[in-house]
Amino acid sequence: MIQLNSGNVLLKPSHRKQLMAWLRRAQKLGQRLGHFVLNLSLARQGKSIDVRAHVHDSVGDFQCHARNHDWKMAVRNLVRNLVVRLQGQLMQRASAV
């Protein structure tokens, strides 16, 4: 499950669709791990966009953070970090079994 809190960042519906498309791989990896909950929050701080993700799944909890002047670049960087961390957890779970 993905929960989006856009805070004080205005996202058009097309931007939300784009964001969910970028998160599709992370969601599939999270479903393979089980009990996947992703809380995504966006906040504008000055001229920068601050993006934070709090992830809870059956392997454990972790947080990711990204900041950039452009919301698209900030979210892309966060999604890349998120997918790498989820793949690491998937490998950790596979090695434990």
Q: Domain extents for the chain? A: 2-96
Q: What is the pLDDT of residue 15?
A: 92
Give pTM, 2 decimals: 0.88
What is the Cα–Cα distance from 73 to 66, expressed in whole angstroms?
A: 9
Average pLDDT over residues 45-67: 94
Average pLDDT over residues 78-85: 95
CATH number of 2-96: 3.30.160.100
Nearest 5°: the CA angle 70, 24, 73 is: 10
The H-or-E segment that residue 34 falls in is none
- Whether residue 97 is predicted with pLDDT greater than 80 in this model: the reply is no
Bridge-based pairing of strands 48-56 and 37-45 is antiparallel
Quickly count: other Cβ atoms within 10 Å of residue 55's Cβ.
22
Measured in whole angstroms, the distance separating CA 52 from the mean position of its chain's CA atoms is 7
